Amino acid sequence: MINKTGQFIVLDGPDGCGKSTQTRLLAEWITGQGWEVVSYRDPGTTAIGEKIREILLDPSHTAMTDTVEVLLYMAARAQLWAEHIGPDLEHGRFVVMDRWLSSTCAYQGYAGGVGVQKVLAVAEAALERVWPDVTIILDVDVETARQRMNRDLDRMEQKGADYHTRVREGFLAMQKHCPNAAVIDARASVERVHQGVCEYLKAVLGWQNV
């Protein structure tokens, strides 16, 4: 073991950035370093969170406001913390997340117009812990992302190119708000992006000779 306690790691970015694949690869890599690792998706994972996710992504819910989105995403996240993340970190496990609060800042705060400060105020009120130890933003342009998403789009994905351009800008501005955040170009190959993610993590955690 290199450190005594596990860390709270988040991979985030625009739709189509490849973060689900990168989250799985990173969890496998940290496991290979001898750590106990758990990995979750936000929103979701818990029974309550998965139901909230269905409500959020249902394309028929066109009336949903950006503020309601903030509250629902935050509710799913609070439940995920209570059931999994909090206890896991207490047990010294590594938690590798597919999305977190950085998404609410970029989508609802920045692109949706709620404002990042308002999102952060809701987060402070609702969450035991606001920011992870490390956040890695996988950056992809809207056109590349669109080509990768060759399937039926959910309600958030259907919001259009202007919205998703602002989402990307919101993620690129995240280092202003979020400690230990890095942006990695996610247009490269899966293996190259994975290497970049591992290199950044090693640097932040001070893991030498790994």
Which residues of the shown chain bind ligand TMP in the complex (CB under 6 A)?
A: 15, 41-43, 73, 99, 103-104, 107-108, 156-157
Q: Are 36 and 92 in contact (CB under 8 A)?
A: yes
Choice between 61 and 91, CB closer to ligand TMP = 61
Kindly report the number of other CB atoms within 10 A of residue 176's CB atom. 9
**Interhelix angle 19-32/190-205, nearest 10 degrees:** 50
CB of 73 to ligand TMP, least distance (A): 4
Choice between 54 and 185, CB closer to ligand TMP = 54
CB of 205 to ligand TMP, least distance (A): 24
Q: Are 210 and 147 in contact (CB under 8 A)?
A: no
Choice between 73 and 81, CB closer to ligand TMP = 73
CB of 117 to ligand TMP, least distance (A): 16
Choice between 42 and 88, CB closer to ligand TMP = 42
Which contiguous run of DSSP H or E holds residue 184? strand 181-185
CB of 7 to ligand TMP, least distance (A): 20
Burial class (CB in 10 A: 0-12, 13-18, 19+), 210: exposed
Q: Are 117 and 125 in contact (CB under 8 A)?
A: no
Q: Are 139 and 183 in contact (CB under 8 A)?
A: yes
Choice between 94 and 107, CB closer to ligand TMP = 107
Q: Are 25 and 190 in contact (CB under 8 A)?
A: yes
Whole-angstrom distance, CA of residue 82 vs CA of residue 92: 16
CB of 93 to ligand TMP, least distance (A): 21
SS3 88: helix
Choice between 48 and 205, CB closer to ligand TMP = 48
Residue 136's nearest CA partner among 76, 69, 202, 92 is 202
CB of 2 to ligand TMP, least distance (A): 29
